[in-house]
């Protein structure tokens, strides 16, 4: 993510430039003149938005003065491979457009080295979630084409396939796909090996985090009773700020949503004041990041299978937090999952934000106060000015199914029972 303060008085101009990148409201034209997203083969999702927080007055409920944080421009992209390779490609294919966009930011000199500027303005997420770690954008496209091709094959040959055993049907379809590949109508690129450097880093994290936790355990255990006392005190005294959002704000968000089966969500807010909440959240996001890397990157975030990518990014010396995700379905169904399936997960993070519905021991209540929770979420939601999805119409579950189809196809032989289950996917 690239994050840069917008030069004062230029937010509206910037918004107009961003809007010029769109085909539909909020949805990028893949071939727009500034950043032609369609040309980036490794890209899954991208967004550009202005981080203008309308809830900065909330802190006055604590008797503290409002802080006028900068209004930022944020550029987020979810891509395969290294960041430096993506930046190279960005400079090559959209150097002019990116320069134009960043020229609305403070201290940007069009003559300065763009790469250097981007590097200087990169913000790393505290936590990043990927639905399926290692599945490339190219793989998503190829497997979707495979699925479509098999669907039409089955439609044309259903009588024939039903007369075979499921195992033989699997063989027949594998043979058909080989023929299609041979004829150049289907491509299934074999998966590139995971780079050694990535695997090493991942391993260090896999072992390192529990090791650090283990070392910290004595201190954490001693601190735990004090932590709980502090926590309960805060939970009883922190104000809830959950008014209904204005019709104008609701409309501004609604025009951007539900054009595709996948939607974007961006929200920001301030942490509750004081070091207690700040370090609690740092610790929690550190642990969630670990679980996202090593446990959840296989298609589901706890019980939720509709999130493609999500990230939590600290801003302004950990005084504020940005959350950005790509999810399937409407916001109402996203919030339904939040409340009914992973309420505890929302509570442990956003419970440290100003105004959140009252939690109990950080895990309980909070999101279960359904309407207040929805108001708070909507109130902190930002209009995502430009959003790009490389694979519109494909839910995370579609992508998962297509991958299972391909994996099954590449098995040399299947028992009839295995094959029957595999055939059900098509």
* Binding site residues, another protein, CB under 8 A: 147, 151, 154-155, 158, 161-162, 166, 169, 244, 247, 250-251, 254-255, 257-261, 295-296, 300-303, 305-306, 328-330, 332-333, 336-337, 339-342, 344, 368-371, 391-395, 397-398, 400-401, 404, 419-426
Distance CA 353, CA 231 (A): 13
Instruction: Classify strands 27-28 and 262-270 as parallel, antiparallel or unpaired.
Output: unpaired
Instruction: Classify strands 307-315 and 262-270 as parallel, antiparallel or unpaired.
Output: unpaired
**Phi/psi of residue 389, nearest 5 degrees:** -120, 120
Q: Toward another protein, which CB reaches closer, 9 or 332? A: 332
**Minimum CB–partner distance for residue 245 and another protein (Å):** 8
| 206 token code pair | 């896999």
Distance CA 373, CA 381 (A): 12
Helices (H), 121-136: none
**Minimum CB–partner distance for residue 373 and another protein (Å):** 10
Q: Toward another protein, which CB reaches closer, 106 or 260? A: 260
| Phi-psi sector, 107: left (phi>0), alpha (psi -120 to 50), beta | left
**Minimum CB–partner distance for residue 170 and another protein (Å):** 9
Q: Toward another protein, which CB reaches closer, 3 or 339? A: 339
**Minimum CB–partner distance for residue 152 and another protein (Å):** 10
Q: Which helix (H) or strand (E) holds 281?
A: helix 275-294
Q: List, in order, residues 6 or more apart from 158 with CB less than 8 Å away.
A: none
How big is the chain, counted in residues? Answer: 426
Q: Toward another protein, which CB reaches closer, 17 or 390? A: 390
SS3 content of the chain, % helix, strand, coil (to 5): 50, 20, 30
**Minimum CB–partner distance for residue 206 and another protein (Å):** 17
**Minimum CB–partner distance for residue 155 and another protein (Å):** 6
**Minimum CB–partner distance for residue 345 and another protein (Å):** 9
Q: Toward another protein, which CB reaches closer, 118 or 355? A: 355
Greatest Cα-to-Cα distance within the chain, rounded to the nearest angstrom: 76
Q: Toward another protein, which CB reaches closer, 55 or 305? A: 305
**Minimum CB–partner distance for residue 149 and another protein (Å):** 14
**Minimum CB–partner distance for residue 405 and another protein (Å):** 10
Write the DSSP assignment of 215-259 as a string of letters: HHHHHHHHHHHHHHHHHHHHHHHSPB--PPPPHHHHHHHHTTSSS
On the CB side of 204, CA atoms within 13 Å amount to 6
Sort 136 into a burial class: Cβ within 10 Å, 0-12 / 13-18 / 19+.
middle
Q: Which helix (H) or strand (E) holds 4?
A: strand 2-5
Q: Are 44 and 391 in contact (CB under 8 A)?
A: yes
Q: Toward another protein, which CB reaches closer, 6 or 409? A: 409
Q: Toward another protein, which CB reaches closer, 24 or 33? A: 24
**Minimum CB–partner distance for residue 401 and another protein (Å):** 6
The neighbour count for residue 370, using CB atoms within 10 Å, is 15
Q: Toward another protein, which CB reaches closer, 60 or 156? A: 156
| 33 token code pair | 């003149």
């Amino acid at each position: 993510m690239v994050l840069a303060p917008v030069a004062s008085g230029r937010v509206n101009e910037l918004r107009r430039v961003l809007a010029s990148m769109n085909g539909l409201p909020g949805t990028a034209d893949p071939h727009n003149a500034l950043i032609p997203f369609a040309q980036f083969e490794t890209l899954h999702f991208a967004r550009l938005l202005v981080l203008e927080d309308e809830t900065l007055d909330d802190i006055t409920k604590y008797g503290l003065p409002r802080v006028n944080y900068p209004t930022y421009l944020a550029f987020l992209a979810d891509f395969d491979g290294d960041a430096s390779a993506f930046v190279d490609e960005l400079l090559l294919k959209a150097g002019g457009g990116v320069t134009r966009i960043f020229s609305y930011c403070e201290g940007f000199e069009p003559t300065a080295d763009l790469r250097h500027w981007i590097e200087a303005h990169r913000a790393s997420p505290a936590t990043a979630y990927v639905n399926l770690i290692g599945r490339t954008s190219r793989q998503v496209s190829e497997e979707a084409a495979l699925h479509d091709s098999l669907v039409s094959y089955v439609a044309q040959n259903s009588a024939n396939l039903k007369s075979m055993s499921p195992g033989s049907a699997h063989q027949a379809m594998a043979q058909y796909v080989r023929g299609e590949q041979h004829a150049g109508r289907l491509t299934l690129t074999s998966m590139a090996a995971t780079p050694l450097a990535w695997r090493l880093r991942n391993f260090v994290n896999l072992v390192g985090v529990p090791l650090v936790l283990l070392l910290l355990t004595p201190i954490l255990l001693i601190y735990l009773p004090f932590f709980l006392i502090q926590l309960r005190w805060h939970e009883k005294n922190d104000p809830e700020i959950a008014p209904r959002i204005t019709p104008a704000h609701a409309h501004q968000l609604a025009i951007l949503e539900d054009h595709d089966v996948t939607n974007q969500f961006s929200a920001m807010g301030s942490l509750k004041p004081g070091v207690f909440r700040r370090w609690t959240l740092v610790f929690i996001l550190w642990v969630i990041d670990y679980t996202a890397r090593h446990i959840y990157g296989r298609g589901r975030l706890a019980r939720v299978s509709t999130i493609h990518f999500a990230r939590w990014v600290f801003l302004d010396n950990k005084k504020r937090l940005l959350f950005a995700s790509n999810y399937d379905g409407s916001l109402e169904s996203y919030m339904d999952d939040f409340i009914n399936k992973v309420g505890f997960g929302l509570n442990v993070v956003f419970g440290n934000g100003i105004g959140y519905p009252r939690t109990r021991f950080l895990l309980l209540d909070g999101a279960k106060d359904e309407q207040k929770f929805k108001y708070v979420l909507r109130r902190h939601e930002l209009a995502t000015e430009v959003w790009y999805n490389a694979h519109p119409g494909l839910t995370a579950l579609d992508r998962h199914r297509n991958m299972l189809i391909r994996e099954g196809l590449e098995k040399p032989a299947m028992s009839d029972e295995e094959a029957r289950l595999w055939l059900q996917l098509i």
